[in-house]
Structure 1
């Protein structure tokens, strides 16, 4: 009798859990909404020692391509970014500007029109892009 009561309780809990709203709710995005139960948060970093900044334009700008393919998004997610490091990253522009977002990645351009950006300084100060993406996986 005890086993039957436990099984019934587990079934009821399972049914009630399915009725609850999802933990992540996406109001709108770049593409039509999908099933809310497929909404997911995924985050990452390009890494303090693994970020590959590439020169862009006149030596005052760099960009980095961010791979988020492991998230498994099926549509373009909403993405928020920041620059993390040990020094001087507060002076940079473009840290929250995301370009060319797809379901698997995006690009961020950084610049400092006053002083320029020296890639060795970025590496020495462990600059990297940290990001959070919210999107659909089905």
Structure 2
């Protein structure tokens, strides 16, 4: 089946926000560069977490929230909550970013 596909990555360490309802951070990922067609429905996104350290130490890196034709949201937290909250400063220091691929059936 023919598809529209797009891929990209966010800027390392940039645009992460503190999640006020929990011990972590989130990032709104913009996928509008892929040119997905709203008439065809929401694309299927596959994501991975990149960075220069500590990716193994985090939870949530493959979960897509609130997907639309122009983007989605990702939430991250530390695996061990007793180690404290994951912060925007951590994301900046560790160069955290999201790699994404989206596909939409024609």
User: Normalized against structure 1, the TM-score is what?
Assistant: 0.66
Shift of 1:124: 1.2
1:92 aligned residue (43, 52, 58):
58
User: Normalized against structure 2, the TM-score is what?
Assistant: 0.84
Which structure has the bigger radius of gyration?
1
More helix by share: 1
For residue 29 of structure 2, give the secondary structure of its aligned residue in structure 1.
strand
Root-mean-square deviation (CA), in Å?
1.6
Question: Alpha-carbon deviations, 1:51-92, whole Å to 9, x = none?
Answer: 211011366210000000111111211101111001111111
- What's 1:117 paired with? 86
In 1, the alpha carbon distance for the partners of 2:92 and 2:58 equals 14
What residue ranges of structure 2 are gaps of 5+ in the alignment?
Answer: none
In 1, the alpha carbon distance for the partners of 2:90 and 2:66 equals 26
Checking the alignment, whether the CA contact within 8 Å between 1:41 and 1:133 is kept in structure 2 is yes
- What's 2:5 paired with? 41
What residue ranges of structure 1 are gaps of 5+ in the alignment?
Answer: 1-24, 26-35
Consecutive aligned runs of 4 or more in structure 1 exceeding 4 Å deviation = none
- What's 1:78 paired with? 44
- What's 1:130 paired with? 99
The answer to whether structure 1 residue 52 and structure 2 residue 15 are counterparts is yes
Which shows bigger deviation, 61-70 or 51-60? 51-60
More strand by share: 2
